Amino acid sequence: MPQKTGSVPKRKTSKRDIKHGKNVVSRKNKTIPISVFGNVMKQFDAAAKKLNTDSSVLEFIKIPRRSTIANLPVKMDDGSFKMFKAYRVQHSIARGPAKGGIRFHPNVNLDEVQALASWMTWKCAVVNIPFGGAKGGVVCDPFKLSNGELERLTRRYVADMMNLFGPDDDVPAPDVGTGPQIMAWFMDTYSMRENHSVPAVVTGKPITLGGSLGRSEATGRGVMISTREAAKYIKLDLSRSTAAVQGFGNVGSISAKLLHELGVKFLYVADVHGAIYNPKGIDIKKLIKYVEKEKTIIGFPDSKTVKSDSVLTAPVDIVIPAALENQITEKNAPNIKCKIIAEGANGPTTPEADKILDKKKILVIPDILCNAGGVTVSYFEWVQNRIGYFWTEEEVNRRLEEKMVMAFSDVLNMALKNKTSLRIGAFMLAITRVVEVVHLRGIYS
């Protein structure tokens, strides 16, 4: 059964929480983790109130349809066996196969996976691609596992949840802590059971195994397109604007690189190790090369180390939170000074913070729109696998541009029509599209 909203155990804040970005809130001198699934429910409810929709249908599409938990025995390199807790949540299959990544991270839990699966449903609906939402995760630190241990863990995950997956059922993809190699092992494990190659069972694969050109940059490119369209709307000249990015993995670095190419000057950059600042601007392309070698942004030439929490509240035009959930809360939202927040991460802003930002007239490009470039090109990859014909990178980027620009326009129009934020507008648009399909299909009982 899905975990009840808000049913989170009370406990003290740990250093591990801070290191991995798990925010907490204080309640009468006690600290409890912020429920990301609870946040999604609040976002959904706020949008649903503005729609004239049957409440029973809303309840049907609100809650995840299936949550699977497994304990995976994996043989370690020293010959011992270790148990890993694993999850796969399918939120919706109303609009098509469930779609969503697999996360390998020490803080993976059911609350987080249910939230991420829910966001995937609404994200796919916002960009109008024929998928539902899903998400998976394994509680582990992939950086502490050998290549062989990672492979055995991946294959065991697929084997134990094999009946959930399929090109017409549930199509995973990479997420935090996973990548093309893990998707290759996933595809191979599934294909061995089917006795033939099934590339469409997973996306984010290496190019030589049926991956799509343009996929590695897709999420960051989507953030760039969304930010560019938002800047047009508020009449912000990107060539004269400044920015800060929190998180310098694939999404953060690509977003920053593409916006830097449009003339945006990045003054602040943060990663898991800390943050750097240069009032004259940071050369993002050189920083990417530096990180490839040093595995951190710290020590980058011509930069000054600053406090990590200063990045989100920096005096810049654009802030890109591209790390983990719950980074912008009611605690730091009053101090945010930017004009645009472009959510590269999933769920970086809490509902309480949203209210503060809305009053401050800060334009928040919601995650289910802003970072939807990844799932959009994943859809393109799935299509290419099904038809057996592959597009050029230019064609992929052109199609992504069309989808993202149209999605931004649709969300903006919904928000303006209903005099609400882009986030609520995006949820209203997504809910409307899912409800329409549910009414057409009916509910089997």
- By three-state DSSP, how is residue 413 classified? helix
83 forms bridges with which residues in the sheet? 73
- Give the pLDDT confidence score for residue 26 in this predicted structure: 46
Tokens 């070698």 belong to residue: 293
User: Taking Cα atoms as reference points, which of 262, 97, 71, 64 lies closest to residue 164?
Assistant: 97
- Give the pLDDT confidence score for residue 30 in this predicted structure: 52
* pLDDT band, residue 445 (cuts 50/70/90): confident
Per-residue pLDDT of 338-395, as tens digits, reads 999 999 999 999 999 999 999 999 999 999 999 999 999 999 999 999 999 999 999 9
* pLDDT band, residue 27 (cuts 50/70/90): very low
Per-residue pLDDT of 107-151, as tens digits, reads 999 999 999 999 999 999 999 999 999 999 999 999 999 999 999
Per-residue pLDDT of 46-81, as tens digits, reads 999 999 888 889 999 999 999 999 999 999 999 999
Q: What is the pTM of this model?
A: 0.90
Tokens 């609870």 belong to residue: 38
Write phi, then psi, for 370 (nearest 5 degrees): -60, -45
- Which one of 22, 123, 135, 265 is the catalytic residue? 135
Q: Given the DSSP bridges, would you call strands 274-277 and 265-271 parallel, antiparallel or unpaired?
A: antiparallel
Greater confidence, 1 or 354? 354
What does DSSP assign to residue 339? Answer: S
- Give the pLDDT confidence score for residue 32 in this predicted structure: 58
Q: Is 135 a catalytic residue?
A: yes
- Give the pLDDT confidence score for residue 3 in this predicted structure: 37
State mean pLDDT over 96-104.
97
Per-residue pLDDT of 3-16, as tens digits, reads 333 333 333 333 33
Q: Is the pLDDT of residue 20 over 80?
A: no
Query: CB–CB of 314/267 below 8 Å?
Result: yes
Q: Give the integer Cα–Cα distance in Å for 382 and 415.
A: 31
* Run of H or E residues at 20: none
* pLDDT band, residue 325 (cuts 50/70/90): confident
Q: Give the integer Cα–Cα distance in Å for 311 and 422.
A: 23
Q: Is the pLDDT of residue 43 over 80?
A: yes
Q: What percent of the chain has pLDDT over 70?
A: 93
DSSP of 138-199: EES-GGGS-HHHHHHHHHHHHHHTGGG-BTTTEEEEE-TT--HHHHHHHHHHHHHHHTS--G
Domains defined along the chain, listed by start: 65-199 (3.40.50.10860), 216-370 (3.40.50.720)
DSSP of 50-94: TS---HHHHHHHHS-SEEEEEEEEEE-TTS-EEEEEEEEEEEE-S
- Give the pLDDT confidence score for residue 401 in this predicted structure: 98
Burial status of residue 379 (CB atoms within 10 A of its CB: 0-12, 13-18, 19 or more): buried
Query: CB–CB of 251/345 below 8 Å?
Result: yes
| Range of weakest confidence among 34-38, 84-88, 137-141 | 34-38
DSSP of 105-152: ETT--HHHHHHHHHHHHHHHHHTT-S--EEEEEEES-GGGS-HHHHHH
Per-residue pLDDT of 238-257, as tens digits, reads 999 999 999 999 999 999 99
- By three-state DSSP, how is residue 99 classified? strand
- Give the pLDDT confidence score for residue 34 in this predicted structure: 73
* The token pair that represents 237 in the structure block: 């000249």
